[in-house]
């Protein structure tokens, strides 16, 4: 996000991460540094392309595309991201490579195929690696979508953080896209998040329970989160290379230096249209909560971590099929009269309410959102397309189609017979 302070919902920072793979085999290609050098004639960590900037990540086979500055027009940004994806693919063609979507490579062996960024800021990555051994799926085989939302002061932070905490548990039920790792069905629709919540357990305070603590001011946040991280990392990082603000790995991270909260637990989708549609719905839902359209700010603040964490565990594993047994949680979203409901059905009710309140924000994305809600998360659509056949050829067939969806900015839809 920009250093200039924005008020709530005045602009958004969006980050999309993609894998670089061989065009034919779809095997991992760790060449982000060479891609950037080809363009800039030196090893750089980012390339400014106007509204979109290309960036490196921890591992050499991932490229991040992000808003250069906060943007308000999501439709325009979907087109900008698509244009940049085509440009990246054009440059990658000289390496016989292309970008591939989804939150995890289905066939990557992280123990053999992990190569960390060796250039600028590599001291940070090396320190991470020494502490956490960044070769597992949860470190080197994961691609996500990040949404940065601005706040101006403590009052706006409190309202935004309270709302985000309540929405986090059901995000996997609309965004899961990592069901296959190591050529197998993992049993999780969002296996990336299963790794995410466990890969720093050597220092539990870094991730906590993913759902952030009940902190509603800068002072509370530092006391409950950053001060604990500072204390716990000290024995592992005597040179003090790693800063608490980098280490905080909760599902939503407050950046008081920038005046933003970053949502980090969204699996990336098959194309920018899909990602931006999901973000539009999330933003609309957060507006609904922040503006107290369905439940008071006071009641939003009351929610402890544990009941939200229980829901989160279910949606990580079962996605939209997760059954939520918490009537009080449904009432947050204006849904009453239900003792239990699937997370997918809850999102359907949420869409109706948000569209009614903010039609201009939601209606441009109804086609994409209706595909997700009617045909399932991308993870479910991938599994249905694989139809239980996890051969190399069949996996590559499906993920090649996903790569085409990315190139042409098209939704991954099921064939008629696959829908049933």
Q: Please give the C-alpha separations between residue 279 and each of 10, 239, 293, 369, in angstroms, as whole numbers.
A: 14, 38, 19, 10
pLDDT at 416: 61
In this predicted structure, the answer to whether residue 198 has a pLDDT above a threshold of 60 is yes
What pLDDT shows up at residue 239? Answer: 86
169-to-163, 209, 307, 375, 406 alpha-carbon distances in Å = 12, 11, 9, 21, 27
Q: How many C-beta atoms lie closer than 10 Å to residue 191's C-beta?
A: 28
Question: Does residue 300 register a pLDDT over 60?
Answer: yes
Residues 6+ apart with CB under 8 A from 73: none
pTM, rounded to two decimals: 0.96
Question: What's the pLDDT tens digit per position in 15-33?
Answer: 999 999 999 999 999 999 9
Long-range contacts of 232-236 (CB under 8 A, 24+ apart): 232/203, 232/204, 232/205, 232/206, 233/203, 233/206, 236/131, 236/202, 236/203
The tens digit of pLDDT for each residue in 313-351 reads 999 999 999 999 999 999 999 999 999 999 999 999 999
Q: What is the DSSP string of 315-350?
A: HHHHGGGPEE--HHHHHHTT--S-S-EEHHHHHHHH
- Whole-Å CA distances, 314 to 131, 230, 324, 389: 29, 31, 8, 25
Average pLDDT score over residue span 144-169: 99
**Any idea which residue has 């997700």 for tokens?**
372
Can you tell me the mean pLDDT for 282-292? 99
Going by pLDDT thresholds of 50, 70 and 90, the confidence category of residue 1 is very low
Q: Which secondary structure element, helix H or strand E, spans residue 244, and what is its range?
A: helix 244-247
Q: What is the pLDDT of residue 2?
A: 43
Residue 263: CB atoms within 10 A of its CB come to: 22
Rounded to whole angstroms, the Cα distance separating 321 from 344 reads 6
pLDDT at 417: 60
Residue 420 pLDDT exceeds 70: no
Mean pLDDT to the nearest integer, 34-41: 97
DSSP letter, residue 153: S
Provide the β-strand partners of residue 178: 190
pLDDT per residue as tens digits for the range 348-371: 999 999 999 999 999 999 999 999
Per mean pLDDT, which range of 45-54, 78-87, 195-204, 406-415 is the poorest? 195-204
Rounded Cα gap, residues 279 and 267, in angstroms: 12
DSSP 159-180: HHHHHHHHHGGGTHHHH--B-E
* Separation of alpha carbons 20 and 371, rounded Å: 27
Q: Is pLDDT above 80 for 249?
A: yes
Contact 69, 55 (CB under 8 A): no
Token pair, residue 141, equals 């085989």
Per-residue pLDDT tens digits for 51-85: 999 999 889 999 999 999 999 999 999 999 999 99
* Rounded Cα gap, residues 310 and 10, in angstroms: 32
Q: pLDDT grade, residue 241 (50/70/90)?
A: confident
Residue 118 CA to residue 65 CA, distance in Å, equals 20
Rounded distance between C-alpha atoms, residue 119 and residue 279, angstroms: 32
Give the span between the Cα atoms of 340 and 347, in whole angstroms. Answer: 13
What pLDDT does 133 receive? 74
Q: What percent of the chain has pLDDT over 90?
A: 87
Which domains, and CATH codes, for the chain? 13-419 (3.30.590.20)
Q: Rounded mean pLDDT of 172-201? A: 96
CA distance 164 to 154: 15
32: tokens are: 């982000």
Which of 283, 385, 292, 380 is closest to 334 using CA atoms? 292
Single out the residue of 331, 339, 333, 319 nearest to residue 384, CA to CA: 319
Mean pLDDT of 159-179: 99
Q: What is the pLDDT of residue 130?
A: 79
């Amino acid at each position: 996000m920009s250093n200039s302070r924005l008020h709530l919902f005045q602009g958004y920072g969006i980050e999309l991460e993609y894998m670089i793979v061989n065009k034919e085999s779809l095997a991992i290609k760790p060449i982000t540094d060479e891609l950037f050098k080809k363009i800039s004639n030196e090893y750089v960590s980012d390339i400014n392309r106007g509204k979109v900037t290309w960036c490196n990540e921890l591992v050499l086979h991932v490229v991040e595309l992000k808003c250069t500055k906060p943007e308000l027009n999501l439709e325009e940004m979907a087109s900008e991201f698509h244009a940049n994806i085509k440009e990246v693919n054009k440059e990658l063609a000289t390496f016989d490579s292309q970008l591939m979507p989804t939150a995890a490579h289905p066939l990557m062996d992280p123990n053999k195929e992990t190569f960390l960024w060796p250039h600028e800021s590599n001291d940070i990555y090396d320190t991470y690696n020494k502490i956490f051994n960044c070769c597992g799926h949860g470190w080197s085989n994961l691609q996500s979508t990040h949404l940065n939302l601005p706040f101006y002061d403590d009052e706006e932070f409190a309202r935004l953080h309270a709302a985000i905490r309540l929405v986090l548990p059901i995000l996997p039920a609309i965004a899961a896209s990592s069901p296959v790792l190591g050529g197998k069905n993992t049993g999780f629709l969002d296996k990336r998040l299963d790794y995410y919540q466990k890969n720093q357990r050597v220092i539990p305070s870094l991730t906590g329970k993913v759902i952030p603590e009940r902190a509603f001011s800068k002072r509370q946040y530092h006391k409950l989160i950053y001060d604990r991280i500072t204390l716990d990392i000290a024995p592992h990082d005597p040179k003090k290379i790693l800063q608490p603000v980098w280490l905080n790995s909760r599902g939503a991270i407050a950046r008081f230096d920038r005046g933003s909260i970053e949502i980090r637990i969204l699996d990336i989708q098959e194309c920018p249209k899909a990602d931006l549609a999901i973000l539009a719905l999330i933003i609309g839902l957060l507006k609904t909560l922040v503006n107290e359209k369905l439940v008071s700010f006071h009641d939003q603040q009351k929610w402890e971590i544990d009941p939200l964490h229980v829901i989160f565990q279910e949606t990580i594993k079962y996605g939209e099929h997760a059954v939520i047994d918490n009537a009080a949680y449904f009432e947050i979203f204006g849904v009453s009269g239900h003792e239990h409901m699937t997370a997918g059905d809850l999102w359907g009710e949420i869409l109706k309410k948000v569209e009614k309140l903010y039609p201009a924000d939601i209606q441009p994305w109804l086609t994409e959102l209706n595909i997700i809600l009617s045909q399932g998360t991308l993870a479910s659509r991938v599994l249905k397309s694989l139809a239980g056949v996890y051969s190399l050829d069949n996996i590559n067939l499906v993920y090649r189609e996903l790569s085409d969806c990315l190139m042409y900015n098209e939704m991954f839809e099921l064939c008629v017979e696959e829908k049933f």
